[in-house]
């Protein structure tokens, strides 16, 4: 993917697929074993999940909090692969 290109143009994409594709295009010297990209992607995904979760409001006392929580829930679903990227 190049600057300005949409990562979702023309199809359904999962976050994990997008991350693995980025890892494959990187210049990180990975061992070329099956599952190497997934092994690198897993801790990155876990950190992102923890980061998003840490920013979720405990209580949804306002419409803003409810919207913020809904966005966080959508992002977490995209990170764990249960939802497609928009």
> Is 47 domain-assigned?
yes
The answer to whether residues 71 and 60 touch, using CB atoms and an 8 Å cutoff, is no
> Is 9 domain-assigned?
no
Domain that holds residue 26: 15-80
> Is 85 domain-assigned?
no
> Is 70 domain-assigned?
yes
> Is 68 domain-assigned?
yes
User: Residue with structure tokens 């990170």?
Assistant: 79
pLDDT, position 23: 77
Number of domains in the chain: 1
Read off the pTM. 0.67
> Is 51 domain-assigned?
yes
Which residues of the chain have a pLDDT value below 70? 1-10, 27-32
For residue 65, how far is the Cα from the chain centroid?
Answer: 22
pLDDT, position 21: 82
pLDDT, position 3: 38
């Amino acid at each position: 993917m190049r600057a300005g290109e949409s990562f979702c143009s023309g199809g359904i994409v999962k976050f994990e697929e997008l991350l693995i594709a980025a890892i494959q295009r990187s210049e990180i010297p990975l061992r070329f074993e099956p599952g190497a990209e997934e092994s690198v992607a897993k801790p990155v995904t876990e950190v992102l999940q923890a980061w998003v979760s840490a920013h979720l409001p405990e209580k949804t006392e306002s419409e803003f909090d409810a919207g913020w929580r809904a966005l966080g829930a959508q992002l977490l679903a995209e990170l764990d692969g249960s939802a497609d990227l928009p």
